[in-house]
Amino acid sequence: MANTDIHPELRSAARFTPRKLIYPWTLPILRRLTGLQRPDNDGVEVLTLESGVGVRLYRPTGTATTTPALLWIHGGGYVLGTAAQDDVLCRRFVKELGITVASVDYRLAPEHPYPAPLEDCYDALQWLARLPGVDPDRIAIGGASAGGGLTAALALWARDHDGVKPVFQLLVYPMIDDRSVGSHLEDAGHRLWNPASNAFGWKAYLGGADPEVAAPARRTDLAGLPPAWLGVGTLDLFHDEDLDYAERLRAAGVPCQVHVVPGAFHGFDGIVAKADISTAFFYSQCDSLRESFGG
């Protein structure tokens, strides 16, 4: 692929963005670096649920009534990351929509493979619905990359279990298929995440689990899921699997808005957050969330 195939707003950043990031030998280093970061807890409630799951809670100011809520799930290939990494994004959702946002610190693979991370997200969802000031009938779930994969899995899990039923799922370039499907797997435009990293992440997450159950893209029955928004770039490793999933959602009768960003690689909106395409990507999510909340 020629450099010109990368979106003009992303070309400068692409030169300094690694094509691959997470491998077995880099994971301990990246985790140590993450542990050295000190999050800004100003205005954030840092909580530990009875189940032991950590949550970062962001509330709107000056709101006397109950608000809709978003359960946000961070990315990191199922093996890396913390809720604090998305502080800026969660605060943006609160400011733009006037909602409550809870970001969950789920357990990571390979130490905690499926279903542990998903169970943590489900526990956080149940807790969020009981939180004073939150409207339990207007709760959305969302996440990026592996967080998007957990969002898709959580939507399925919530459908199949008693408890809170999310009204919407926000799937930001979700990691949903362990088979790494598509004809573009070795595309030179990929950044941050490549097939080798994907294979490592999925192996760690699945452990001994049946992928037909654990990987959302392998699920055959998608009926009855909440409406969805799905966004992905054309240079994202997940492009093909994501668009296929969106089509299958629609075929199952689930409304799904798709936002494709030409020339965008994985995680582009976090790397070049102020680019016009990143801003449009964010506001597309906000518009869908606002509509799902009925406002």
Residues 266, 269, 278, 288: which is the catalytic one? 266
CA distance 162 to 150: 18
Query: Which residues 6+ apart lie within 8 Å of 160 measured at CB?
Result: none
Closest alpha carbon to 170 in 68, 294, 70: 70
Residue 107 sits at φ, ψ, to 5 deg, of: -70, 150
| Strands annotated E in the chain | 45-48, 54-58, 67-73, 100-105, 134-144, 168-172, 228-233, 256-261
Give yes or no for a contact between 235 and 263, defined as CB atoms under 8 angstroms apart: yes
239 is catalytic: no
Residues 236, 278, 288, 292: which is the catalytic one? 236
> In terms of C-beta density within 10 A (0-12 exposed, 13-18 middle, 19 or more buried), how is residue 177 classed?
buried
Closest alpha carbon to 223 in 159, 180, 288: 159
Give yes or no for a contact between 202 and 237, defined as CB atoms under 8 angstroms apart: no
74 is catalytic: no
Q: Which amino acid is at 122?
A: Y
* Angular region, 45: left φ>0, alpha ψ -120 to 50, beta rest: beta
Is 138 in a helix, a strand, or coil?
A: strand
Residues 103, 145, 197, 292: which is the catalytic one? 145
Give yes or no for a contact between 64 and 33, defined as CB atoms under 8 angstroms apart: no
236 is catalytic: yes
Give yes or no for a contact between 275 and 246, defined as CB atoms under 8 angstroms apart: no
Positions marked active-site: 145, 236, 266
